[in-house]
Amino acid sequence: MDVLNKLNMPLCQPQRIPVKTLIEQLQPNSADKKVIESHIASMKLVSILNEQTIRIRSHKDDNYSYQSIYVFMIELKKDDSIISLSNWIHSAFPEPTILVYKMKDNYFISLASKRINKIEEGKTVVEDVITTQISEFVTEQQLSFQEISGKNLMEFYSNILQWLYRLKVLRITKVYPTKDLDYKTVLKEYEQINIDLNKLKESYKRATMKSEKMRIDDEIYDKEIELKKVIKLMKVGV
């Protein structure tokens, strides 16, 4: 799957971003630096979405700057730290960014809502990050940017965020949602329940008393019921 072409966005001449340059911009601690170096094989700027390329005007106010949207293609050596990588890379650029990761035949997309850092000029504050693997069930129409629009780049990027939430629901439920629903909140609840479940399962493994195992097993059952309800809620949008 050639995700970049299927996204249907205007591509520019690829511009290589050395990992060294990214590290200089981020100034990470030694542990984070090691993760970046051991996970990123290459990073390229592949598209700039702005008034010239997509005919959607820019937006800037006291809190947000949407002059251009920068799209990066990132080849990975390993895909076990994509969430951390996404947080770091999004924070390295003051303007909105779209990160497309490739690991062998698997693709991931990451977006982030940001606001202007009023303390450090030229810096950004990352408010929220969403990252998902592209589902094998996605169609070309669902993956394409052609149906996404906005009165300005801020609204356009917000609509791309909604599109990515839907792709994440598709990844979980295997069905693409078409109705309006607060997928951001539902997905956060889904992720938190999974975190809680994993913690409970680890506690169950460590438990030695039968009574403790029974209590944890009941809690796991309750969480699994919660998870099924959230997945059912996602499917309301189908």
Q: Contact 152/210 with Cβ under 8 angstroms?
A: no
pLDDT (0 to 100) of residue 118 = 82
Q: Binning pLDDT at 50, 70 and 90, where does residue 88 land?
A: very high
Note the pTM of the prediction, 2 decimals: 0.90
Res. 238: pLDDT tops 70: no
Q: What is the pLDDT of residues 214-235, one digit of tens each?
A: 999 999 999 999 999 999 888 8
23-62-120-111 Cα dihedral, nearest 10 degrees:
-20
Question: Which amino acid, one-letter code, is at 164?
Answer: L
Q: What is the pLDDT of residues 114-159, one digit of tens each?
A: 999 888 777 789 999 999 999 988 999 999 998 899 999 999 999 9
Average pLDDT over residues 192-219: 95
Q: What distance, in Å, lies between the first and last C-alpha atoms of the chain?
A: 25
pLDDT (0 to 100) of residue 159 = 96
Q: What is the pLDDT of residues 99-116, one digit of tens each?
A: 999 999 999 999 999 999
Q: Binning pLDDT at 50, 70 and 90, where does residue 71 land?
A: very high
Res. 179: pLDDT tops 90: no
pLDDT (0 to 100) of residue 177 = 87
Q: What is the mean pLDDT of the chain?
A: 93
Give the DSSP H/E element, type plus range, for residue 152. Answer: none
Pick from 17, 33, 121: nearest CA to 70: 17
